[in-house]
Amino acid sequence: MSRRFLSLFLLVVISAFAANAAEPTFKDLYDSAIKNYNLKKYADSLQDIDKALSLTENDAEKLQALSCRYTTYNTQRKLVEAADAAGEVLKLEKLTDAQRNLWLLNQIKAYYDAGKFDACIAASDLLIDSREAENRDLGYHYKTISYYRKNDNDKTLDAANKFAENIGAAKHPMYYRAIIWQMTALNNKKEYDKALAVITPGEAQKIPGAMKSEYYNMLGAIYKNKKKYPEAIAAFEKAAQYDQAYQGGYGWYSIGDVYCCMNKDNEAMYAFTKCYDLNESGSFHKTSAIVRCAELLNKNGNPADALGLLGKIDTLPGSNPEGAAGGKILAGKILVQQNKKNDAKKQFEAAVNMKGIPSSVTSQAKAELEKLK
């Protein structure tokens, strides 16, 4: 071999070695994906994961990479993509039963949060049929709540019945979750007496923690629909004992609502005030309670106090958009009554331009603007 040929050969070998040495490994790409994720460079992280997946040699590495993909999509609230990533994990052959059911649950939650209720129900059925009892109750729960979100009361009730039957022991906390769903479905079907008969008052005392507050709110709603207002108030008062919880706020809001049905404005204003004074910010009921209380103040000849109260909505962190828009429409109407049409117009326009509100509320604000022309 000539010296010149040998030199060329060595150059090719060294170049090839250098090129191979420069190629990133799975670990390099996975570490880069984690680093980019922590830096909130999500697009770069996902690109690293795609490259890393092409270099995986076993299911353990695939699980690492796909877990990162799921987490990245979930953090960005790209929920369908997160559910798809969980689905890719479920295709891996060497998952344990516990791992498989955990990833089924991740997929179920992503589908539910994305509003993909049929897909959520299908995945929930897989979890229900699994051998892992630990998360089966959550499969029943998500199946039931998905039918509820689809406004299918018959299937909600059927799913809730099976939920209660298969959880079995009344000592299990999720048994009472099933009971509340049974009552909810029957209430929606206007079968109020059946709803009241689902659980006895004595048995209801065993419901644990804040779930008891949910039960009493549901009980109050049933009594309200039966126009048994004193019984409804008594139930909502028990729910409202959880002063700092969402369900407690709902209890006080509902008490105010019942008193409005009874034309007891002072009692209603007291209850609505208790609702929005709770140490919880931005719930639908907190925002709506301000609007309802302002309506009563205006009705009883205190428009200035009503406007001052409505101004609090803008200071609420994370106030409910629909409730906030309703507050601006009410403020606009009060300003029209005071012949302050320019100020009223600003309120209506602000409501029209709000994001995340139902079209019916936007249409209402636009109608009020038309009246000013």
| Calpha distance 373→9 (Å, rounded) | 87
Band of residue 356 on the pLDDT scale cut at 50, 70, 90: confident
- Determine contact, residues 199/168, Cβ cutoff 8 Å: no
- Determine contact, residues 239/210, Cβ cutoff 8 Å: no
Q: What is the pLDDT of residues 294-353, one digit of tens each?
A: 999 999 999 999 999 999 888 877 678 888 999 999 999 999 999 999 999 999 999 999
Mean pLDDT, range 56-66, rounded to an integer:
89
Mean pLDDT, range 273-292, rounded to an integer:
81
pLDDT at 79 over 60: yes
- Determine contact, residues 307/334, Cβ cutoff 8 Å: yes
pLDDT at 1 over 60: no
Report residue 127 CA to chain centroid gap: 21
> Which pTM does this prediction carry?
0.81
Backbone φ, ψ for residue 70 (5° rounding): -60, -50
Backbone φ, ψ for residue 119 (5° rounding): -65, -35
Band of residue 18 on the pLDDT scale cut at 50, 70, 90: very low
Own/partner pairs, 344-347, CB within 8 angstroms, 24+ separation? 344/368, 344/372, 345/369, 345/372
Q: What is the pLDDT of residues 131-170, one digit of tens each?
A: 766 788 899 999 999 999 999 999 999 999 999 988 765 5
> Which tops the pLDDT comparison, 1 or 83?
83
- Determine contact, residues 42/36, Cβ cutoff 8 Å: yes
> Which tops the pLDDT comparison, 196 or 24?
196
| Calpha distance 79→145 (Å, rounded) | 18
| Calpha distance 67→89 (Å, rounded) | 8
| Calpha distance 323→270 (Å, rounded) | 19
Question: What is the pLDDT at residue 276?
Answer: 86
Average pLDDT of the chain is 89
